[in-house]
Amino acid sequence: MSDSKISRRDFVKGALTGVGLGALASMGVFSYSPMRNIFLPEIVRKQQDFGVCKSVKVTNISETSWFENSALMGDIKGAGGLLVNQYVYNWPPFGNGKGLAKGSYADGMAMIKEYIPHDLEKAWAIVEKNSVHPENAGGFAALVEMEEMDGTKHKYLLDTGWSYKWMDESFKREGIDKMLQNGEIEALIISHEHFDHFWGFPVAMKYAPNIPVYIPEGFYEEGLQYIKDSGHKGTLTTLKKGLNQIKSGMATYVFDVPIICRVFGEQSLYFNVKDLGLVSVTGCCHQGIIQFADTAYKELKYENDKMYGIYGGLHISPFEDWDPKYDDLVISLGKWGFERVGCNHCTGLLTARKFIDQGYNVVEGTARFRSKSKVYLGNGDKIGFGVDV
Amino acid sequence: MLNFSDVYPPMFNGGAESFFYGFVRALIIRGCFNVDVKRALGIAGFYRSVATPECWTVKLLEHKGIFGLMVSDVKEDENTAECVLNLKYFPDASEEVLDTFSVMEILATAEPSYGAMVRDFASVSALSGMFSVGDILINIDKGSGQMSVTLISETLSETRIRDGLYVQSGGQELVEPMGTDRCVSAYRLALPFFRCFTGCAAYSLSHTADGYYRSYAEGKAVVIASDGSSHAVECPKNRVVELTFTFGGQKTPLPLAAFPCTVRPFWWEKQTERNSSRVMDSRPRLIIVSGFLGSGKTTYIRNLIEYETDKNRFVGVIQNEAGQSGLDGFLVDYDYSLVEIDEGCMCCSLSGQLKKAIAQLSSERVPDTIILETSGVANPMNLIDEIDDVSEMARFDSVTTLVDLLTPSGMLHDNELMRQQIRSADIVVLTKADSAGDDELTATARIVAEINPDAMIVAAKGNINYSMLYGTENESGLLANAGQKGHTHHHEHIGTRKISFHEPVGKDELLKMIEDMPADTFRVKGIVDVDGEGAVVVQSVNGRTELSAPGRKPPEERFLVVIGKNVS
């Protein structure tokens, strides 16, 4: 090889300085012209068309998934860590009275089955006696209202929260109980199987047992059984990974990612709002905002090729990147250009503040009904895209 | 029978290719969830590319370069499903091992966009064809639920160029005719990642390997001609290694016990229950945050707590503010455990206190991270014995020292205690960079680098990316500089005084009172009822005073703590 005093890497780089890669001769490993092109990623955009709608409005029914983070994390750690099956924790409503990490779906359900979904007060009273930290359970649920181009409006319930007690109160506060009873809400979309988004399922069944339900592919056996045991009598649709159109301008997208507490898969909602651009509504966004936005860019066609708004959990990434600069970079570049950002508490104050620091229009909340910070859209707060709220 | 559906519930419903993308991705992601497991696996960071085709990159703690993994082939029949993953190693541009890579590979590392390209390497045609160090083959027997994972790699991956390689215009020769363009010790590079990968598999499937086998075959070298054709030639130095771990009850030729202990995967000892604490280190890590009075420790720590919480890690804080009231415990408004050592300054007489505090923090649940906030007038050098004393209970990570950029440069030169704090740091964070000019930033950074040339120096403009600071295993500057004698605040005559308030004061009166304090007052803080405004948090540093509303229900007591020279 080359001179022993200078490293080969420096020698090679030096020999080609100012000459250009095209000057390399006699190799035949790759076609060398045009050289630069082989260093460019091939970006393929599918731009699937899922129609267009007029507006979207989101009402935050409850975003306080749990009330004390330290209690929740203590339970998770005490039960053996982040990969432990969520049905084993002995959290409400599946408590069997045996204590942390000694629960099971079957045991817990056996204790409350006869009261579900018609007498949830009775069921919850039993749950409170047998579960670990029942007072810590809150839940996430949102009402999503979309308007078609012809003015027809559709209501969807996104997630059902966790605690029967808290969710029933929250539903009543926002009038969701009536809407469910009247059949005003067309379908229930469950973003993922996590306790705080799904375990309040019987509360929705109490008011609308026949409502169509959409879940993402990846639910475990216990979760599927819970839907049955909660008295659901309507259609259940399992959506496959990727894009699933619901209405013109409204689709869900299923991400096939593992999530902590042994959950798999999460679906988020995409709306293509006329003249504005893409609006995304997420539960937790466990897949990470980077993947979420990149997927939209790659897969979807939307108005003005613009990402207009986002509501929900905005985790940057669920795990540490090997190049941490990248996380900051994508935000600081403002490359997504969101014009309206609404966070829920899944976002984390730090990330919310990063968005604010970068000049994104983060819509403030009112910190009512046990929501802790105004940086988020809290319980009872609303956000509109293409419509005033 | 392995429980694949636990890792990837859709199983083979979408076909084998969909299964393997989902399964391999889930194996690695699950390995990254738990901080103890991640450490035991040696993972520093992970990125999933959403480019097409999807690929994954992993940084290991002990390697400067980046490992890449992409699916190169999937086969399926009734009984088995098999996947070949191509394993890459993308060396850092400064790494010596890069000398063994080909001219093209070296040139790729010199591209300004190399790092960004590596992230999506499978969609960059040049990279997807280069940097290979082996293949990983996953074979699943659908009927029996058994799995084998095999690394196939060469001890010396050699490429020669028949006609040589030179720069056309100048004629400078890069590779002589029949010379070697690439001679990479591929197996040696691939093995650490393979350990990590099989560790992820074992952890995700809750199943250690049953056994292993290994075979060697004669390797070849490849000769490339200028027309692009190539042929293989004898290469006695090269051997092709096939190393297989089996999972799920297969009969295997060799028990795991025969596997060389130097390259055992982390789950090895977990299985045999020997020294399991060493491989699965569940001790909380201990981060010491030091800094002169008013340098921004509280803000820094509050953000660090939020960052850790966001990554699902639980934080414990030990505070030792020189003062009679634990005000900082009140200012930090987030969810975490807090223990205060409230009996003066730890730097002089800490003995046994740190141990007690960690025990108290860990009594209900052991935190993942413990932040020890030293008093502003403490010298971390004096903590060495104490850290050693608690090594059973906590894994010492690093010392971070905060330096306020608005500190007069004279102080950096003259204040021995401040210099000691900087000297003891692994990381020096220059705070309040938003208010300081570029010149001040450069000047202060230079002085800090003179005092402590080993520390990582970071300027805090807005938010700090904590994974950049604590993502790697730092060589501790505190231990490196341990020989130096500590300098404690008694020698500086620094003291504290508390002023109690029993009724509201006028705002102007309060500001005047602070203004009139002696020039060598470093810091005033507390909580006071102000006429017409109610409870107000007072923070004053080097003559800059801020009044703000309390973030949550304030404590009953109304007081100011004054810290400065000759205060008693």
Residue at token pair 């013109």: A248
CB contact under 8 A, A77 and B125: no
pLDDT of amino acid A236: 97
Residues B13, B18, B23: CA angle, nearest 5 degrees: 100
* Structural domain harbouring A292: 48-64+141-221+232-385
pLDDT of amino acid A361: 83
CB contact under 8 A, B10 and A256: yes
* Count of the separate structural domains present in chain A: 3
Residue at token pair 């910070």: A373
For B165, the closest of A26, A76, A326 (CB atoms) is A26
Question: Do A149 and A272 belong together in one domain?
Answer: yes
Chain A hits for B45, CB-CB cut-off 8 Å, are 319-324
Q: How confident is the model at residue A332 (pLDDT cuts 50, 70, 90)?
A: low
Residue A357 in domain: yes
CB contact under 8 A, B103 and A12: yes
| CA–CA dist A19, B560 (Å, integer) | 69
State the count of interchain CB pairs (< 8 A) between A and B: 223
Out of A146-150, A268-272, B407-411, least confident range? B407-411
Q: A304 exposed, middle or buried (CB, 10 Å; 0-12, 13-18, 19+)?
A: exposed
Residue A285 has pLDDT above 70, yes or no: yes
Q: Mean pLDDT throughout A326-346? A: 72
CB contact under 8 A, B10 and A321: no
Which CATH number goes with the domain that contains A364? 3.60.15.10
Residues A259, A162, A234: CA angle, nearest 5 degrees: 90
Question: Do A242 and A110 belong together in one domain?
Answer: no
| CA–CA dist A263, A286 (Å, integer) | 11
Nearest-10 Cα torsion for A339, A344, A348, A349: 70
Question: Do A108 and A187 belong together in one domain?
Answer: no
Site from A16, A257, A321, A353 to mutate, B interface, most B CB atoms within 10 angstroms: A321
Average pLDDT value over all residues in chain B: 80
**pLDDT tens, position by position, B318-369:** 876 544 344 454 444 445 666 665 444 444 445 567 888 888 888 877 888 9
pLDDT of amino acid B489: 42
Q: Within 13 Å of residue A294, how many CA atoms lie on the same side as its CB? A: 19
Residue A3 in domain: no
Site from A17, A260, A320, A355 to mutate, B interface, most B CB atoms within 10 angstroms: A320
Q: How confident is the model at residue A386 (pLDDT cuts 50, 70, 90)?
A: very high
| CA–CA dist B547, B561 (Å, integer) | 15
Question: Do A34 and A75 belong together in one domain?
Answer: no
Question: Do A13 and A102 belong together in one domain?
Answer: no
CB contact under 8 A, B45 and A325: no
Question: Do A248 and A293 belong together in one domain?
Answer: yes
pLDDT averages per 10-residue partition of chain B, 568 residues: 90 92 94 82 88 91 92 93 97 92 87 88 86 96 92 94 74 81 94 92 86 90 83 92 87 72 65 46 86 82 82 80 46 54 47 78 83 76 73 85 84 83 87 82 88 82 74 48 43 66 88 82 79 82 73 71 69
Question: Do A121 and A201 belong together in one domain?
Answer: no
Q: How confident is the model at residue A29 (pLDDT cuts 50, 70, 90)?
A: very low
CB contact under 8 A, A323 and B45: yes
Q: How confident is the model at residue A24 (pLDDT cuts 50, 70, 90)?
A: low
DSSP H helical segments within B324-395, as ranges? 327-331, 346-349, 353-362, 384-389
pLDDT of amino acid B476: 47
Whole-angstrom distance between the N-terminal and C-terminal Cα of chain B? Answer: 72
Question: Do A262 and A310 belong together in one domain?
Answer: yes
**pLDDT tens, position by position, B266-278:** 666 554 444 443 4
Question: Do A120 and A52 belong together in one domain?
Answer: no
Residue A1 in domain: no
Out of A23-32, A184-193, B65-74, least confident range? A23-32
In chain B, the residue whose alpha carbon lies closest to the alpha carbon of A27 is B226
pLDDT of amino acid B553: 63
Of A79 and A112, the structure prediction assigns the larger pLDDT to A112
How many C-beta atoms surround the C-beta of residue A160 within 10 A? 28
Question: Do A59 and A71 belong together in one domain?
Answer: no
Point out the domain boundary residue: A113, A136, A159.
A136
ipTM above 0.95, yes or no: no
Question: Do A148 and A83 belong together in one domain?
Answer: no
pLDDT of amino acid B345: 44
User: For residues B312 and B548, is the Cβ–Cβ distance under 8 A?
Assistant: no
Residue A320 in domain: yes
CB contact under 8 A, B57 and A322: yes
| CA–CA dist A125, A114 (Å, integer) | 13
Residue at token pair 């000759």: B566
For B46, the closest of A13, A265, A319 (CB atoms) is A319
What is the SS3 assignment for B235? strand
In sequence order, what are the residues at sequence separation of 6 or more whose Cβ sits closer than 8 angstroms to the Cβ of residue B327?
B321, B525, B526, B527, B561
User: For residues A284 and A192, is the Cβ–Cβ distance under 8 A?
Assistant: yes
Pair of tokens at residue A292? 């979420």
Chain B: closest CA distance from residue A32 (Å): 10
Whole-angstrom distance between the N-terminal and C-terminal Cα of chain A? Answer: 71
Point out the domain boundary residue: A75, A107, A136.
A136
Q: What CATH superfamily is the domain B285-480? A: P-loop containing nucleotide triphosphate hydrolases (3.40.50.300)
DSSP per residue, B386-450 = HHHHTTTT-EEEEEEEEEETTS-HHHHHH-HHHHHHHHT-SEEEEE-TTTS-HHHHHHHHHHHHH
Chain B: closest CA distance from residue A2 (Å): 7
Largest Cα span, chain B:
93
Domain edges within chain B? 4-278, 285-480, 494-565
pLDDT of amino acid A74: 83
Site from A319, A355, A372, A375 to mutate, B interface, most B CB atoms within 10 angstroms: A319
Chain A: closest CA distance from residue B178 (Å): 11
pLDDT of amino acid A207: 97
For A218, the closest of B10, B25, B335 (CB atoms) is B10
Out of A41-45, A188-192, B144-148, least confident range? A41-45
**pLDDT tens, position by position, B1-27:** 888 999 999 998 889 999 999 999 999
| CA–CA dist B71, B136 (Å, integer) | 9
**pLDDT tens, position by position, B85-126:** 999 999 998 899 999 998 888 888 888 888 888 999 998 877
Question: Do A276 and A369 belong together in one domain?
Answer: yes
CB contact under 8 A, A353 and B463: yes
Among the listed residues B463, B392, B399, the one whose alpha carbon sits nearest the alpha carbon of residue B433: B463
Chain A: closest CA distance from residue B460 (Å): 13
Q: How confident is the model at residue A42 (pLDDT cuts 50, 70, 90)?
A: low
Chain A: closest CA distance from residue B334 (Å): 9
CB contact under 8 A, B174 and A349: no
Residue A16 in domain: yes
CB contact under 8 A, A16 and B167: yes
Residue A334 has pLDDT above 80, yes or no: no
Residue A328 in domain: yes
Proportion of chain B above pLDDT 90, given as a percent: 25
